[in-house]
Amino acid sequence: MYLLLVFFPLIGFTISLFFGRFISPRGTALITCTFLILSFILSCLSFFEVGLSRSPVYIKLSPWIDSELFDASWGFMFDSLTVSMCVLVTCISSLVHIYSTGYMSHDPHQPRFMSYLSLFTFFMLMLITSDNFIQLFFGWEGVGLCSYLLINFWFTRLQANKSAIKAMVINRIGDFGLALGIFSIFVAFKTVDYSTVFSLIPYFDGYSISFLQFNFDLVTLIGLLLFIGAIGKSAQLGLHTWLPDAMEGPTPVSALIHAATMVTAGVYLIIRCSPIYEYSSSALFYITVVGALTAFFAASIGVFQNDLKKVIAYSTCSQLGYMVFACGLSNYSISMFHVLNHAYFKALLFLSAGSVIHALSDEQDMRRMGGLIQLLPFTYTMIVIGSLALMGFPFLTGFYSKDVILEIAYSKYNFLGTFAHWLGITSASITAFYSFKLIYLTFLAAPNGYKSSMQSVHDAPFSMGLPLFFLSICSIFVGYLTKDLFIGLGTPFWNGSIFILPHHLNIIDAEFIPIHIKWIPFFVSIFGGSLAVCLYHLLLRLSFSFYNNTSLFIFIYTFFNKKWFFDRLQNELIGSSLLKIGYAITYKTIDKGLIEFFGPSGISNMVFIVSKQVSDLESGKINQYAFLMFICTTLLVSISLVLSVIAPYIDLQLSFMFVLYIIINNIKLNKIK
């Protein structure tokens, strides 16, 4: 059952890829959906067995690499953390599969699309169920690959190609860090098995590793290198630029990969490696800072975006920041809880956005929408549920995880906690602001779209509506239903899969913080949301004239709309200078310069020139021949005279060649033109 859970999507992928042309697009859709739903049912069963009945499963499938000390095997480990992720991945994935049958129904390459989706799910399951770092890396690269294939799905579009390459390359930067982390784990522990590494960590506390005369604290080094991998995959500040550009792919892809599953792999890695991070307070410090900054940074950009999908993408980035800083504050279970909840309402938001885009014949700009509330009532309801859950409206899913994250940040009572808390509060209000801006501009404002696209508007068909409905149910109830299971006081659910040092534990403190601190997120969210509606409904004319007359505001708007100029900095400082180095140094100087000069063409040119000079000696002039004879005779005589004296000090052959060379050059000078 556990193996089938992982391999069902692979079977679906194989069938629809190799036999897709024989069994019609509808057939492939049916097959891949069936396999995914079967996998989801098995995940639920395993969740019951492993999570609720507390009996972890460990399967050693076959050896993979077996070389002296280094052994990696195809092993599967199902503990509470894994099965929670399994349920999440297969649930979102099967809903997205069903959704895609409607959304992509007119696409000529539907079998390919469905097969890629299934392959992605397989790699993701491989990533979360592995029992060692090598297999984790296999899944990690696999989801990166599928991300490339899916962003690039409409491969005739130039922008999609560029975005896919960007996603792949920036992810690869993080992957390099992850690979280095795995190497250093192997160097220190001589194994890559989770169980061995995690049980040995306490003995390596304070152990330092020396590299190039620098001493690093081993645990911190491993933690930071793994975190670089997480930065890339989870789009944290610094390597986040690929995520918004990944919106070039079809909307179900954005929902599946860039909202619910792939980006959570980085957070999953941090949670999985909780025993490593617990022993390194400096790694935790950096994680917190980066996470909190990402939360604020992405939220502030999200406000000023006009593309429907980009807004949601930046909101994903911001929520990932929340998850990461919750990890940095040693509350892994809360972070995991937010991962699970976030997946439901973010998938809901993305799929509803897809429904809007589908209805408006692929219009993505929010400024060209408006007035859709009468035309798309179902989608409107869904997106409102999603947005309310996202901004942490009380008793919806987001409330239970997001507010807890802010509370534990406050109750750290140190600089780090306060820093994360205030950035988190600010981003919470901004989140509410852009959620309501999105709803208002799309559904409530006066219609701004084309009449032709408004006339053909239709609400989501059944295949798209069903996943939306299911996800909205999840977005409302999941948080409340699973709160006690995942983060309840003393919950036995995690069963050792997450490790927290006792003196880092502050979930109890978080229950007893002042009541007004607990109320802050609620009030700032309500404030942000109502501000958005006020600004766009009542004060639109005023703010527009304000915008037109104040250059400062134009500057601010441009600054945030252009993503803090982060992309531009990245392109102009790093990208173009690297390209210049690649062209000027490695290509022109080294490849075409040094290597060619001392290599093939240099030698052949040299031979050509020297032979030309030697043959120029034969000028055809008789008196010159005679002169040459005389000179050579004289030289021979004089050398034989002085040779016995200078022989110990010179290398005979070399000086002979030197003399020969001088003669050749001088004769060339004497040549009669």
Partner 1 sequence: MLIDQSKFLFVAISLFFIGLCGIMLNRKNIILMLMSIELMLLAVNFNLIVFSVFLDDIIGQIFALFVLTVAAAESAIGLAILVVYYRIRGTVSIEYINLLKG
Residue 596 CB, nearest approach to partner 1 (Å): 29
Considering the complex, state which of residue 19 and residue 630 has its C-beta at the smaller distance from partner 1.
Answer: 630
User: Taking CB under 8 A as the rule, which mask of x and - marks residues 363-402 in contact with partner 1?
Assistant: ----------------------------------------
Residue 655 CB, nearest approach to partner 1 (Å): 25
Residue 662 CB, nearest approach to partner 1 (Å): 19
C-alpha torsion sign, points 394, 396, 400, 401: negative
Residue 616 CB, nearest approach to partner 1 (Å): 7
Say how many C-beta atoms besides its own lie within 10 A of residue 641's C-beta.
9
- Answer whether 353's CB lies under 8 Å from 398's CB: no
Considering the complex, state which of residue 604 and residue 611 has its C-beta at the smaller distance from partner 1.
Answer: 611
Considering the complex, state which of residue 587 and residue 630 has its C-beta at the smaller distance from partner 1.
Answer: 630
- Answer whether 370's CB lies under 8 Å from 447's CB: yes
Considering the complex, state which of residue 508 and residue 660 has its C-beta at the smaller distance from partner 1.
Answer: 660
Considering the complex, state which of residue 533 and residue 664 has its C-beta at the smaller distance from partner 1.
Answer: 664
C-alpha torsion sign, points 17, 19, 22, 25: negative
Considering the complex, state which of residue 490 and residue 620 has its C-beta at the smaller distance from partner 1.
Answer: 620
* Number of chain residues interacting with partner 1 (CB under 8 A): 13
Mapping DSSP onto H, E and C, the string for 389-401 reads HHCCCCCCHHHHH
For the packed helices 462-487 and 332-359, what is the interaxial angle rounded to 10 degrees? 170
The amino acid that residue 228 corresponds to is I
Residue 172 CB, nearest approach to partner 1 (Å): 59
- Using DSSP, how many helices (H) and how many strands (E) does the chain show? 30, 4
Residue 162 CB, nearest approach to partner 1 (Å): 60
Of the candidate residues 395, 480, 553, 630, the single one contacting partner 1 (CB under 8 A): 630
Tokens representing 517 are 């601190």
Q: How do 214-217 and 208-211 pair as beta strands?
A: antiparallel
Residue 574 CB, nearest approach to partner 1 (Å): 57
For the packed helices 600-616 and 652-670, what is the interaxial angle rounded to 10 degrees? 60
202-211 long-range contacts, CB within 8 A, separation 24+: 202/279, 204/279, 205/279, 209/184
Q: Which of residues 237-266 bind partner 1 (CB under 8 A)?
A: none
User: Taking CB under 8 A as the rule, which mask of x and - marks residues 589-628 in contact with partner 1?
Assistant: -------------------------xxxxxxxxxx--xx-
CA 212 to chain centroid, in Å, comes to 30
Considering the complex, state which of residue 544 and residue 608 has its C-beta at the smaller distance from partner 1.
Answer: 608
Residue 602 CB, nearest approach to partner 1 (Å): 25
For residue 16, CA distances in Å to 12, 109, 385 come to 6, 11, 34
Say how many C-beta atoms besides its own lie within 10 A of residue 463's C-beta.
16
Considering the complex, state which of residue 622 and residue 654 has its C-beta at the smaller distance from partner 1.
Answer: 622
Sites of contact with partner 1 (CB under 8 A)? 614-623, 626-627, 630
